Amino acid sequence: MIYTQATWPSVRWPNFTFTEVKCSHTGLCDVDEEFMDLLQQVRLTYGKPMRVNSFYRHPTHPVEAAKTAPGAHTTGKAVDIGVGRGQAYVLLRLGIRHFDGVGIKQHGEGRFLHFDNVTPDDIPHIIRPTVWSYK
């Protein structure tokens, strides 16, 4: 569903703001409500702030435009959470219960976890469930 700052349901998703969820390139915010509900549930169980590195990306976002096919973030069903080391382990244990796509970057600077619930109906070349690591 497409949201604006004025229509963002902050009562439904109190731990996530429109600003951190919207596309940083276009300002559009097209997120999947079921995905957001699951993410909010994970956040409540985790009990700590979750730093959003990347959420919705419009297909014209430079990261997506550089790809041969749109990625998970264009569906509104994917998020990258900046977290490292021990807290990454805790969050990974929670997230893997709810999300079918899990990406892990836990080396060097910019450590994060990627969670998504993208299906082949969303993106035909996507294989889920799966786990991967970033270089």
Summarised one tens digit per residue, pLDDT across range 40-88 is 999 999 999 999 999 999 999 999 999 999 899 999 999 999 999 999 9
Q: Cβ distance 16 to 40 under 8 Å?
A: yes
pLDDT at 6: 97
Is the predicted pLDDT of residue 132 greater than 90, yes or no? yes
CA 105, chain centre distance (Å): 14
The rounded distance, in Å, linking the Cα atoms of 90 and 46 is 8
The rounded distance, in Å, linking the Cα atoms of 53 and 67 is 19
Segment 26-46, tens digit of pLDDT: 999 999 999 999 999 999 999
Beta pairing class for 130-133 and 101-105: parallel
Structural domains of the chain, with CATH: 2-133 (3.30.1380.10)
The rounded distance, in Å, linking the Cα atoms of 95 and 54 is 16
* Verdict on whether the full-model pTM lies above 0.85: yes
